[in-house]
Amino acid sequence: MKAQHGIYLDGAWRPAASQDEIEVVDPADGQVIARVPAGGAEDIDTAVRAARAALPAWAATPPAERAARLTALRDALVARKDEIAETVTAELGSPLPFSQAVHAAVPLAVAGSYAELAATHSFEERVGNSTVFHEPIGVVAAITPWNYPLHQIVAKVAPALAAGCTVVLKPAEDTPLTAQLFAEAVHEAGVPAGVFNLVTGLGPVAGQALAEHPGVDLVSFTGSTAVGRQIAATAGAAVKKVALELGGKSANVILPGADLAKAVNVGVANVMANSGQTCSAWTRMLVHRDHYDEAVELAAAAAAKYGDRIGPVVSAGQQARVRGYIEQGIAEGARLVAGGPESPRERGFFVAPTVFADVTPQMTIAQEEIFGPVLSILRYEDEEDALRIANGTVYGLAGAVWAGEEAEAVAFARRMDTGQVDINGGRFNPLAPFGGYKQSGVGRELGAHGLAEYLQTKSLQF
Ligand code: NAP
Ligand code: MG
């Protein structure tokens, strides 16, 4: 795989001050495919200074010009979409068709949406005798995970640039090559030097140095709740704004009148996509006791059919973690109806598509985020019971409701403590605000709500 041997700083690829390296591994076979710099505190400091120096001019750029740069960025990503898909497959392991249809394609829609928003958003409003200006919040630290490596970068960098902010990005150590392709696209798009900077590196080194840097105004983090909590504490002490997109344990609630086969099949596909490494995956399926046995049978068959089409999980560590959860599910008395802890292949970090029945709400596999291809099916007695179970975790990122009547599904969804609910299989909308209730996060990404995270208001009275 092609890799840059530097970090993208102040408009050019430059050698990192740190001599450390990250080995990028193909999870399908465990082989090292590239090496990139593991930047340190000095590299982060240089990058933040570059972003700060570039801020006044970029913040003063007319929104139409920022829109033009974002359109050019979208076009540069379009030109690289095949390379992006191949790179995501190489370092994340998702099957190529999924990389093409999702990992490469969704960011194009998001980048395009921010090109349009930059051009059309009203950065100024009248409120009584005041004029309120929506001004960029400043220098943004973007820290992203590996599971949707390009989407998570674009969902932060595009609105930041649209708002007039400058950015330092620290991508996940497992997927730095996709981040490098993104930096190349930013460069091609003619974004001025220093407005966007990329430092590849390790979370506790480069990530922490970035989150703690006094030159940063907003830390936008996507990743685990454990690290998010730490980042929020550090930022809180410095009175710095944070946006956190964290974990999930979403419920797929199948009400008695629903099309059971459709709800179960779509639900299984939702969990198995990207090998279960989706923060908003509906990893708990809730089924009424009258339909429970039939749903379990359908889910087991659907998971078995998935079999060989599933990719590996991202790393050996992630594979061990997911297998540990499967063993714990068995130990706590859940009934394994598909898959299991044994790796289905000799090479690579594969986990079999796994389904548990007879899962009770307090079991570890019903409470903790597994981040692998593991579905838990829970039984409920009535709607109130279903609601208690659905809301009974610390998370609240997403969910689904299926019912015979749409209004019935909507009424149930309105009572769920969660930021996103798909009604009878509603499709992902890249313009709708995405983010968590409870410990799934703070703030929203995507669309106009995502743009607002990067703006602060100034009121002038007349
Ligand atoms: P993670 O360990 O929290 O890592 C996320 C990012 O933070 C990575 O770039 C990581 O660097 C960095 N990091 C790690 N420790 C840090 C520290 N002490 N200070 C600053 N940065 C640090 O999460 P992950 O395992 O990569 O991703 C999986 C998790 O992300 C899951 O819990 C999932 O639900 C969540 N997620 C949430 C969303 C959402 O939108 N809500 C989306 C995707 C994923 P390294 O790569 O070097 O560790
Ligand atoms: Mg890797």
Residues 178-228: tens digit of each pLDDT: 999 999 999 999 999 999 999 999 999 999 999 999 999 999 999 999 999
Query: Residue for token digits 């900077």?
Result: 197
87 Cα–ligand 1 center, Å: 20
Chain mean position to CA 22: 22
Residues 6+ apart with CB under 8 A from 253: 286, 386, 390, 399, 400, 401, 402, 412, 416
Handedness of CA 441, 443, 448, 453 (dihedral sign): negative
User: Whole-angstrom Cα distance, residue 248 to residue 370?
Assistant: 9
Q: Which of 239, 312, 244, 235 is nearest to 274 (CA)?
A: 312
- Topology of domain 7-246+439-461 in CATH is Aldehyde Dehydrogenase; Chain A, domain 1 (3.40.605)
Res 237: pLDDT: 92
21 membership: H or E segment, kind and range: strand 21-26
Around ligand 1, the residues with Cβ closer than 6 Å are 143-147, 170, 172-174, 202-204, 207-208, 211, 222-224, 227, 230-231, 245-248, 279, 369, 371, 397, 436, 441
* pLDDT average, residue stretch 258-282: 98
* 171 Cα nearest atom in ligand 1: 9
* pLDDT average, residue stretch 340-362: 96
Region of residue 438 (left: phi > 0; alpha: psi -120 to 50; beta: else) = left
Listed by start position, the domains of the chain span: 7-246+439-461, 251-429
Task: Give the residue, by CA position, lying nearest to ligand 1 atom 9.
Answer: 172
Please report, rounded to a whole number, the percentage of residues in the chain having pLDDT higher than 90: 98
Is residue 308 pLDDT above 80, yes or no? no
Q: What is the dihedral of CA 174, 178, 184, 185, to 10 degrees?
A: -150
Handedness of CA 255, 261, 266, 270 (dihedral sign): positive
Is residue 4 pLDDT above 80, yes or no? yes
In a mutational test of the pocket of ligand 1, which residue from 20, 94, 102, 147 has the highest number of ligand atoms less than 8 Å from its CB? 147
Q: How far is CA 249 from CA 108, 261, 267, in A?
A: 27, 22, 13
In a mutational test of the pocket of ligand 1, which residue from 222, 283, 319 has the highest number of ligand atoms less than 8 Å from its CB? 222
120 Cα–ligand 2 center, Å: 39
Residues with active-site annotation: 245, 279
Strands 31-37 and 422-423: unpaired
Question: 63-72, 85-94, 322-331, 342-351: which has the minimum mean pLDDT?
Answer: 342-351
Res 307: pLDDT: 74
Does this model's pTM top 0.85? My answer is: yes
- Write the burial class of residue 368 (CB in 10 Å: 0-12 exposed, 13-18 middle, 19+ buried): middle
pLDDT confidence bin for 407, thresholds 50/70/90: very high
* 248 Cα nearest atom in ligand 1: 34
DSSP secondary structure string for all residues of 259-271: -HHHHHHHHHHHH
Task: Give the residue, by CA position, lying nearest to ligand 1 atom 46.
Answer: 172
* pLDDT average, residue stretch 414-440: 97
Q: Check: CB of residue 135 under 8 Å from CB of residue 457.
A: yes
Question: Per the CATH hierarchy, to which homologous superfamily does domain 251-429 belong?
Answer: Aldehyde Dehydrogenase; Chain A, domain 2 (3.40.309.10)
pLDDT confidence bin for 1, thresholds 50/70/90: confident
25 Cα–ligand 2 center, Å: 4
User: Whole-angstrom Cα distance, residue 225 to residue 441?
Assistant: 8
The residue length of the chain stands at 462
Local structure of residue 26 (DSSP, 8 states): E
Tens of pLDDT, residue by residue over 78-131, are 999 999 999 999 999 999 999 999 999 999 999 999 999 999 999 999 999 999
User: Whole-angstrom Cα distance, residue 153 to residue 5?
Assistant: 20
Local structure of residue 47 (DSSP, 8 states): H
376 Cα–ligand 2 center, Å: 27
* pLDDT average, residue stretch 322-333: 98
In a mutational test of the pocket of ligand 1, which residue from 279, 325, 397, 442 has the highest number of ligand atoms less than 8 Å from its CB? 279
User: Whole-angstrom Cα distance, residue 149 to residue 152?
Assistant: 6
317 Cα–ligand 2 center, Å: 10
State the ligand closest to the CA atom of 370. 1
